Amino acid sequence: MSKSIGDKFESLYLSGKKGLAWLVDPDDVDGYTSFSQNIQKAIKAKIDFFFLGGSLLQRNNISETIQLIKKQCAEIPVILFPGSAMQFSDEADGMLFLSLISGRNPDLLIGQHVSIALELAKSSVEILPTGYMLIDGGEKTAVHYISQTIPLPNHHPELSVATALAGKFLGLKYFYLDAGSGAPDPVSPEIIRAVKNAIKAPLIVGGGLNSLEKIKLAYQSGADLVVLGNAVVQNMELLEEVSSFLETIHVRVN
């Protein structure tokens, strides 16, 4: 792979272009045929990254899922978005090395990281040090429950800014604002805007982005990379809709 994933994140941030990631839940990967068809749709929609992971995975099929993706497209990077250190595969291109800085659960700030560090050092998986911040999306989501942490309020930007800045001062390079999967309210434009202005670094946004309008608003507020999970499970065509929208703005940017 020519450019590193970190470089790709940086260039989205620096160019003002917008990226799109599809979050694949390995538990949902059942039939080879239907998954293959969806991969084809994702390729056609020119997604930038596959994200792979879940709060609570039931099956041990991460490597198998990566192989299915790689068989059809070796070019689009597969990035682990792990709920725990157990969700590791050295067949991935990269791993969001998430530290849950919105919470005060030491295991998710540093514990899981220690348990996988030696294995990561031996692998060629690219490590992406990421400040992961849960934002209140109006409902308790799986990530809130599993992490046993309290999300940041969705309408109090100073708290999110202070949290993100602390992460930046600790050396984290990328930031992920997540309202939690299937959240009724996505991360608010004011939080996205305030965090982006403060950190001046690549910003990933996800959780509850289930319509083109919500996705556009996230991009316009400062998201460099949007992550879509549940909405795509319901309707694969959303990837194509977002892609068409991105083509129009990319034409305007250049």
Ligand X SMILES: CC(C)=CCC/C(C)=C/CC/C(C)=C/CC/C(C)=C/COP(=O)(O)OP(=O)(O)O
* Residue 82 touches which of ligand X, Mg ion, ligand 1GP, none (Cβ within 5-8 Å per kind): ligand X
* Residue 146 touches which of Mg ion, ligand 1GP, ligand X, none (Cβ within 5-8 Å per kind): ligand X
Please give the Cα distance from 112 to 93 (Å, whole number): 19
For residues 26-65, which are near ligand X according to CB under 6 A? 53-55
- With beta carbons less than 8 A apart as the criterion, state whether 157 and 191 touch: yes
Cβ count near 132 (within 10 Å): 25
Please give the Cα distance from 158 to 191 (Å, whole number): 9
Binding of ligand 1GP at residue 54 (CB under 6 A)? no
Residue 28 beta carbon to ligand X: minimum distance, rounded to whole angstroms: 8
Span interacting with ligand X, options 13-21, 92-100, 164-172, 234-242, rule CB under 6 A: 92-100
Binding of ligand X at residue 97 (CB under 6 A)? yes
Structure tokens at 168: 């930046």
Residue 14 beta carbon to ligand X: minimum distance, rounded to whole angstroms: 25
Residue 250 beta carbon to ligand X: minimum distance, rounded to whole angstroms: 28
Structure tokens at 36: 């293959």
Span interacting with ligand 1GP, options 61-69, 96-104, 105-113, 221-229, rule CB under 6 A: 221-229
* Residue 97 touches which of Mg ion, ligand 1GP, ligand X, none (Cβ within 5-8 Å per kind): ligand X
What is the per-residue DSSP string for 109-145? IIIHHHHHHHHHHHS-PEEEEEEEEEB--SS--HHHH
Q: Is 229 annotated as a binding residue?
A: yes
Per CB under 6 A, the list member of 68, 146, 212, 236 interacting with ligand X is 146
Structure tokens at 170: 């600790």
203-231 burial code (b ≥16 CB/10 A, e <16):
bbbbbbbbeeeebbbbbebbbbbbbbbbb
Question: By the criterion CB under 6 A, which residues form the site for ligand X?
Answer: 25, 53-55, 81-85, 97-100, 108, 112-113, 116, 132, 142-143, 146-147, 181-182, 229-230
